[in-house]
């Protein structure tokens, strides 16, 4: 690639027998004139397709599905960042105590792996998977991005859009026609799983993509991985806490006698009271916490402490 | 209040025992140095909560609910304008002959009164009340305003928005999060009554609010009260006339032989004919008169005469 | 008409007995002073109303209705262009082999003819007619225009808007309140047929309208008629091909082994593949081809070849 003379491109030829070598343009330019003899010590044989699978049982059989791929791990953002972030998400899920939802986490080769996994599991998945994410390109610090599910309005899309908006108001919103990873299988007609993508910089949208320059120095960074991890984790936490609350009294509750009004009135406490009373006014048992956060114009995580406090005072019940 | 040196502020302390005097900043500044002895001739005792209630029976059991408050009537816009306008609305309703709908009109102290009234009547109200307004701050001539019900799309909201748009295109449209009066109780989860507010200048939005300057000279004016009265009355009339008309012939009626075409054709009569034929084309028995007025881009009251004329000629039937 | 001195106006007096002559302003100006004796050799008598009707049977009983009028054919755009274009549409339908849908095509006098036809056929029409167009003013080359059905969102509206957008992005979108032809009867309450209008320059919107200047020289042109013909025919073809396709494999089909990937990769072939894979991803058996074309941002006719090719490879089934 003359325009990237020190990059080794990543080229595949899946369905036709060919051969070739990938090298940098610099190496290519420095090859001496002459005839080369090529010895390729390789063979085609019937092997088997392996994948990693982790099922975490939660209180409910309803599953959140996480898929990431492991076919060309020599490149960092696409693709090693995906397995890395998902590994730490799995670690957090296993350590945090039994989650509300169950989790189905797979490490597969792209396309052929998702097709294979679906062929073995799709009827069970269609029954149980209510949300999920395809995890890729989640380690750089240049942008936050979103690719919708085919339906575009699933709970995965809703929580991804909410989290990304409150993580980075300038996040990039791609369309279904910009897709390019395993959501092509997960969302295909008849499969129709609710799988969206939370991404840092999307595959195909950065110059180092599919070259040896997609590395752990200039592309993937600690803060890039950390941001990707927290965006995905915030989406999962949002789904874990996305309940439908019903206020347990008719009319506004008397907050003073419950000690829920601040004793000292400041500008900040005034805002807190207003948020609390607005929140309570929306707890009708039919509106999800995500929708309430959208209506109130706040991040869902800004409501968690308030929910806990009101639950403690027996002011909220949960409509499942 | 140094910034309003001649205003006596209105301060309450409902749920904690305190004491204090409200006076103007001028009075405060002119107090002589020295020690004052304060004698408060007052006591806390168990009293009772009183309210006024008027039920007007209409042809239908379906009720329109009007609520206004009477807890601090020393101030004019907030709050004496409310009881004043509602009194004249009640007078008009009692004099006009049996209305189509029934009316439930109450004068209560704010918050504690609405909570009390709801606790005694809410199951009956939930069955019968299909529309209603909380009436406050309806006597000044500075603005027209609207506060929605919590649902935001009830018939009360629809008629209030329509009437205000055709009364003053610059009317102010507040949100549910700007609420601050008894709609907080009427629209709370589980109560869910369809109560909106038609307001002149909203509580908290004018400098004299909750001070002795909220008076009958600079704030409340005859034209302010008159405008408020007609906005509320127009909304009620709109609800009384909000029928679903069905044109009684198939295809366009032959208007000429019914004498419904003007004999002399002028620009104005042409517009009248066009409005009539457009109106007829929308009378499908499923679209309310309010929605037809919105579709035609006219005020609902501009259709009353036309409805009457077409009804006289047996061209309209009513789908209830 | 002083402002069009060489135009003979077209004036009617249907429901009142009057008399008069229409002549150009030039002729009027040149009339000699004096008394004229007028002999009108005419009579009022009970005649009969005639109309032309053609029913073309298709595979389905579901009908597409085409109506055009024949009451003042001395004028070219309004009205001879309508019968002309509809005649050639009928010719094409009769020659193309049995269509999917049935066709009901009528030539009637305006208003009185549509009313009469409806009075004789409307219950059968309400059962069978699922789409249709009133055809008028379809022969000039100045504009493309659309008048909606009363409902505004029927399949006739959908296909008309789609075809006109891809025929001329500057096409004029009128509203129901701009109507003025037989859709006034076809869409009247209780009749409610889904009839829209695909028009070149609308009646009343060009200076020669309803005068002797609406002719075959300056107003109606060969390219005007041709454009009108193709817009109407494209709408009809769109309805004939507006199926709901279901992709017959789960997950993305392997296109390579079916020979559906181009062997030589160029920029154009890349776009073709992308369109094909995007199209396939939307073939869920519930989305019509028209809606898919809208989602993909292409004209429906750009998908016909692709549909045929995928059907040949047994990759598509049809959900009726």
Tell me the C-alpha distance between A28 and B149, whole Å.
72
**Looking at residues C61-73, what average pLDDT do you find?**
96
Question: What is the β-pairing status of strands A244-247 and A172-173?
Answer: unpaired
Structure tokens at B95: 């004099």
Q: Using alpha carbons, select from B251, B255, B282 the residue that is nearest to residue C117.
A: B251
The closest alpha carbon to A223, from A284, A167, A306, A165, belongs to: A167
Q: Is A218 helix (H, G, I), strand (E, B) or coil?
A: coil
Report CA-CA distances (Å) from A285 to A249, B190, B311: 12, 9, 45
Chain C hits for A67, CB-CB cut-off 8 Å, are none
Closest-CA distance, C260 to chain A, in angstroms, reads 13
Q: Is B291 in CB contact (< 8 Å) with chain A? A: no
The CA-atom distances, in angstroms, between A234 and each of A228, A239, C65 are: 10, 9, 56
At A264 the pLDDT is 62
Q: What is the pLDDT of residues A252-288, one digit of tens each?
A: 999 888 888 876 666 677 788 999 999 999 999 999 9
Is C285 an interface residue toward A (CB < 8 Å)? yes
Please give the share of chain B, as a percent, with pLDDT higher than 90. 88
- Residue B208's closest CA among B118, B160, B139, B261? B139
Pairwise pLDDT comparison (C123 vs C17), residue with the higher score = C123
Asked if C126 contacts C62 with a C-beta cutoff of 8 angstroms, the reply is no
User: Token pair of A55, please?
Assistant: 């099922």
Task: Give phi and psi for B80, each to the nearest 5.
Answer: -65, -25
Cα angle B40-B42-B48, degrees, rounded to a multiple of 5? 160
pLDDT at B66 over 80: yes
Mean pLDDT over all residues of chain C? Answer: 95
Share of chain A above pLDDT 70, in %: 98
Closest by CA position to B133, among listed B193, B198, B88, B72 = B198
**CA B72, CA B181: separation in Å to the nearest integer?**
13
The Cα–Cα gap between A80 and A219 comes to 12
Q: Are B286 and C192 in contact (CB under 8 A)?
A: no
The contacts of residue A239 (CB under 8 Å, 6+ apart) are: A64, A101, A131, A155, A159
C264 touches chain A (CB under 8 A): no
Distance CA C213, CA C216 (A): 9
Which percentage of chain A shows pLDDT scores above 90? 87
pLDDT-based confidence at A42, cuts 50/70/90? confident
Residue A225, CA distances (Å) to A99, A110, A173, A197, C144 in order: 24, 21, 20, 15, 55
Amino acid A89: pLDDT: 98
Q: C223-273 pLDDT, tens per residue?
A: 999 999 999 999 999 999 999 999 999 999 998 888 888 766 666 777 889
A17 touches chain C (CB under 8 A): no
With CA atoms as reference, report the closest residue to A136 among A211, A202, A72: A202
The alpha-carbon gap from C140 to the nearest alpha carbon of chain B, in Å, equals 27
Query: What interface predicted TM-score (ipTM) does this complex get?
Result: 0.92
- pLDDT tens for A103-134 read 999 999 999 999 999 999 999 999 999 999 99
Residue B265's pLDDT band (boundaries 50, 70, 90)? low
- State mean pLDDT over B245-256: 94
Nearest-by-CA chain A residue for C247: A189
Judged against a pLDDT cut of 90, whether residue B17 lies above it is answered with: no
Is B153 an interface residue toward C (CB < 8 Å)? no
Of A283, A281, A287, A260, nearest in space to A272 by CA: A260
Alpha-carbon dihedral of residues B46, B49, B50, B55, nearest 10 degrees? -150
Q: Which helix (H) or strand (E) holds A82?
A: helix A81-95
C-alpha–C-alpha distance, residues B286 and B247, integer Å:
11
Determine the average pLDDT of the residues in C148-174: 98
Report yes or no: C255 at the B interface, CB cutoff 8 Å.
no
Residue A56 CA to residue A92 CA, distance in Å, equals 11
Selected residues 93-152 of chain C with any CB under 8 Å from a CB in chain B: 111, 114-115, 118-119, 122, 150
**Could you give the CA distance from residue B105 to residue B68 in angstroms, rounded to a whole number?**
8
| Partners of B107 in beta bridges | B52, B68
Preferred mutation among A67, A115, A189 to probe C, highest tally of C CBs within 10 A: A189
For residues B146-151, give the mean pLDDT: 98
**What pLDDT is attached to residue B316?**
96
The answer to whether the Cβ–Cβ distance between A189 and C278 falls below 8 Å is: no
Tell me the torsion sign for CA atoms A76, A80, A84, A89. positive
Q: How far is A287 from chain B, CA to nearest CA, in Å?
A: 11
DSSP three-state, residue C211: strand
Q: Residue B88 contacts by C-beta under 8 Å, 6 or more apart in sequence?
A: B229
Helix (H) or strand (E) holding B225: helix B222-240
Q: What's the rounded Cα separation, in Å, for the pair A49 and B106? A: 75
pLDDT value of position B264: 62
Residues of C in contact with A176 (CB under 8 A): 278, 281
Check: CB of residue C129 under 8 Å from CB of residue C193: yes
Residue A275 belongs to what H/E stretch? helix A267-282
Question: What residues of chain B lie within 8 A of the CB of C110, using their CB?
Answer: none
For residue B280, CA distances in Å to B314, C9, C15 come to: 13, 30, 21
Mean pLDDT for chain B overall: 95
Tokens of A179: 């897709």
Cβ contacts of residue B215 below 8 Å, gap of 6+?
B75, B76, B208
| Averaged pLDDT, C29-40 | 92
**Subunits touching A (CB < 8 Å, at least 3 pairs)?**
B, C
Kindly report the pTM of this predicted structure. Answer: 0.94
- Tell me: pLDDT of B234 over 70: yes
Residue A45 burial (10 A CB sphere; 0-12, 13-18, 19+): exposed
For residue A130, the SS3 value is: strand
Across the interface, whether the CB atoms of C252 and A190 are under 8 A apart is answered no
Confidence of residue C84 (pLDDT cuts 50, 70, 90): very high
Give the minimum alpha-carbon distance from A80 to chain C in angstroms, rounded to a whole number. 25
Q: Give the C-alpha separation, C83 to C225, whole Å.
A: 11
Q: How many cross-chain Cβ pairs, A to C, lie less than 8 Å apart?
A: 42
3-state secondary structure of A38: coil
H/E element, A52: strand A52-56
Predicted pLDDT of residue C257? 85
Suggest the residue from B244, B251, B291 to mutate for an interface test with chain C (most C CBs closer than 10 A): B251
Q: Which of B252, B256, B296 has its CB closest to that of C188? A: B252
Give the whole-angstrom CA distance, residue C31 versus residue C154.
Answer: 54
How far is the alpha carbon of A36 from chain C, nearest alpha carbon, in Å? 28
pLDDT attached to residue A23? 94
Which range is least confidently modeled, B27-31, B134-138, B265-269? B265-269
Q: Is A189 on the interface with C (CB under 8 A)?
A: yes
Q: Mean per-residue pLDDT for B210-232?
A: 97
pLDDT band at residue B117, thresholds of 50, 70 and 90? very high
Rounded CA separation A279/A313 (Å)? 15
Given this model, what pLDDT does residue A266 score? Answer: 67
pLDDT digits (tens, 9 = 90+) for A58-107: 999 999 999 999 999 999 999 899 999 999 999 999 999 999 999 999 99
- Contact C271/A at CB under 8 A: no
C15: pLDDT strictly greater than 90: no
Quick one: DSSP state of residue A300?
Answer: G
What is C107-138 written as a DSSP string? EE-TTHHHHHHHHHHHHHHHHHEEEEEEE-S-
Asked if residue C117 lies in contact with residue C109, where contact means CB atoms within 8 angstroms, the answer is: no
């Amino acid at each position: 690639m003359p325009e990237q003379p020190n990059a080794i491109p990543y080229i595949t030829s899946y369905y036709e027998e060919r051969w070739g070598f990938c090298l940098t343009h610099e190496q290519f330019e420095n090859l001496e004139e002459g005839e080369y003899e090529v010895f390729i010590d390789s063979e085609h044989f019937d092997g088997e397709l392996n994948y990693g699978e982790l099922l975490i049982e939660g209180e409910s059989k309803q599953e959140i599905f996480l898929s990431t791929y492991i076919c060309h791990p020599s490149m960092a953002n696409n693709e090693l960042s995906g397995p890395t972030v998902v590994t730490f998400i799995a670690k957090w899920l296993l350590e945090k105590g039994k989650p509300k939802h169950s989790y189905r986490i797979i490490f597969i080769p792209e396309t052929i792996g998702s097709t294979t996994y679906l062929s073995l599991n799709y009827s069970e998945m269609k029954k149980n998977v209510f949300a999920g994410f395809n995890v890729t390109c989640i380690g750089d610090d240049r942008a936050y991005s979103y690719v919708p599910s085919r339906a575009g309005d699933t709970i995965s899309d809703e929580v991804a859009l909410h989290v990304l908006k409150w993580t980075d108001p300038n996040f990039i919103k791609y369309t279904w026609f910009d897709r390019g990873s395993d959501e092509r299988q997960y969302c295909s007609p008849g499969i129709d799983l609710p799988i969206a993508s939370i991404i840092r910089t999307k595959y195909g949208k950065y110059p180092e993509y599919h070259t040896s320059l997609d590395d752990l120095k200039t592309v993937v960074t600690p803060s890039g991985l950390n941001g990707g991890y927290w965006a995905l984790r915030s989406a999962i936490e949002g789904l874990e806490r996305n309940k439908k609350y019903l206020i347990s009294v008719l009319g506004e509750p008397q907050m003073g006698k419950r000690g829920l009004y601040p004793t000292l009135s400041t500008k900040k406490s005034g805002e807190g009271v207003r948020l609390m009373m607005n929140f309570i006014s929306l707890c009708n048992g039919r509106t999800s916490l995500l929708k309430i956060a959208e209506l109130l114009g706040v991040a869902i995580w800004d409501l968690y402490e308030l929910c806990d406090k009101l639950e403690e005072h027996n002011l909220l019940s949960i409509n499942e």
